[in-house]
Amino acid sequence: MDYETKLLEEKQAGMKEGMREATIVGLKKMIVVLKNLKNPYDQILHQLELSYGDQFTKKELEDFIKQA
């Protein structure tokens, strides 16, 4: 593997991680809004599963709800 290929792979990995972090920020904001609207836990989890279930496990989503 040459130097340029390694740099490109590291750049792509960094971009992917940055996108994941940005998604988590948006997800947590969504949780706060849903909590402020007095949505029950199960409805919040269901909405997160619909919106983010392809990116995070159910356990991760449950942890995000607890953190928010």
pLDDT(6) > 90: no
Residue 1, pLDDT score: 67
The backbone torsions φ and ψ at residue 46, rounded to the nearest 5 degrees and listed phi first, read -60, -45
Burial class of residue 47, CB neighbours in 10 A (0-12, 13-18, 19+): middle
- Half-sphere exposure of residue 60: CA atoms within 13 angstroms, side-chain side: 13
The pLDDT tens digits of the residues spanning 11-65 come to 888 888 888 899 999 999 999 999 999 999 999 999 999 999 999 999 999 999 9
Please tell me the distance from the alpha carbon of residue 46 to that of residue 68, in angstroms, as a whole number: 16
